[in-house]
Amino acid sequence: MKEKLEALRAEARAQLESCSTAAELEALRVKYLGKKGELTALLRGMGALAPEERPKMGALVNEARSEIEAAMEAKVKALEEAELNRRLEEEQLDVTVPGVAAPMGKKHPLSQVLDEIKDIFLGMGFQIASGPEVEFDHYNFEALNMPKNHPARDTQDTFYITENILLRTQTSPMQVRVMEKQQPPIKVIAPGRVYRSDEVDATHSPLFHQIEGLVVDKGIRMSDLKGTLELFAKRLYGEEAVVRFRPHHFSFTEPSAEMDIRCFSCGGKGCRLCKGEGWIEILGAGMVHPKVLQGCGIDPEEYSGFAFGLGLERIVMRRYNIDDLRLFFENDLRFLEQF
Ligand code: DAH
């Protein structure tokens, strides 16, 4: 019996040594220590021994059990440690590997050119004003010398919200809002969204952008208007830019003019871009009408001023040769990524 026990101990030791998974280990535990295990079987066989042999043998079996239990416990620890090391190895994170860069966003082409235009005017000492897109009829028309049933209203297809509230059709109401709040000297630009109920096509959108300008002070003359706007054109289009002023009519300026730039594509000979004209219209402008000044509480005997307004989309379209206005508002990345 003693030999059997020794053989069992040796066998258990060897099997534990070579066991490499928790499942194998559990199988060994059942095999040697379980209720139907081999040690239990040995204990049962003790009945055949002489009574005085039994305690000795019992002690030996217990010793063997303790030894196998201890070896198993050690094996459990070893297996757990191996498993931990395997996971640490596998989940290792190399923080020096270069990351996947997030694609860099860009400013919309309209914003890029608007920023440029703002910088030009800021550099000339202008301030930037902004105001509501939902506007009173009073500011959008009335105070700009366009009373109800004035023919000029028909040229601006207006989105009315109520009889007296509308979506502004132009940034010119900002002239009135600025002059109401501030006495001269005034030198501001007011960029922003404007709305007209136009049918959408390549050159019309119900939403577009204008930049309004207003200068009011003592002794402001038409030559100030021309000098300022010519300088603006040269800053935007380059020193070689040539401009001309044509007489025009706006209800809120007198006299009024439009400024053209000599076509930068053909140099004035006439081409597709300038529609054979040799000149491209850039903006509307004029000396602020005395009625408008007066309506804002500014004495036209003491002060005078000039105003101008330009359309942002048209400037950006010509600069980049974009032939469809809708591209600005569709947010197609294939278009936007080109700028
Ligand atoms: N508000 C005019 C328009 O939308 C543009 C304009 C013309 C603005 C002359 C001005 C100006 O300030 O003096 O057609």
Tens-digit pLDDT string for the chain (339 aa): 778 778 888 888 888 888 888 888 888 888 888 888 887 887 777 878 888 888 888 888 888 888 888 888 888 888 888 889 889 989 888 899 998 999 888 999 999 999 999 999 999 999 999 999 999 999 999 999 999 988 878 778 899 999 999 999 999 999 999 999 999 999 999 999 999 998 899 889 999 999 999 999 999 999 999 999 999 999 999 999 999 999 999 999 999 999 999 998 899 999 988 889 999 999 999 999 999 999 999 999 999 999 999 999 999 998 898 989 999 999 999 999 999
Output the CA 198–ligand 1 centroid distance in Å: 18
> What's the half-sphere exposure (Cβ side, CA atoms, 13 Å) at 31?
15
Among candidate residues 21, 146, 14, 119, the one with its CA nearest the CA of residue 78: 21
Distances (CA, A) of 181 to 175, 212, 296: 10, 17, 9
Query: What percentage of the chain's residues is helix, strand, coil (to nearest 5)?
Result: 45, 20, 35
Q: Is 286 in the pocket of ligand 1 (CB under 6 A)?
A: yes
Q: What is the pTM of this model?
A: 0.73
Query: Distance, CA 231 to ligand 1 centroid (Å)?
Result: 19
CA of 329 to the centre of ligand 1 (A): 23
Separation of CA 249 and ligand 1 centre (Å): 10
- C-beta of 307 in contact with ligand 1 (< 6 A): yes
The 10 Å Cβ neighbour count of residue 84 is: 10
**Is the CB of 191 within 6 Å of ligand 1?**
no
Instruction: Check pocket membership of 305 for ligand 1, CB cut-off 6 A.
Output: no
CATH number of 109-336: 3.30.930.10
Strands (E) across the chain are located at 127-128, 134-136, 165-167, 186-195, 207-217, 243-250, 253-262, 279-288, 304-311
Ligand 1 centroid to Cα of residue 207, in Å, is 16
Enumerate the domain spans of the chain. Answer: 2-90, 109-336
Q: Cα–Cα distance between 210 and 131 in angstroms, integer? A: 13
Ligand 1, pocket-test mutation among 144, 168, 171, 172, most atoms within 8 A of CB: 172
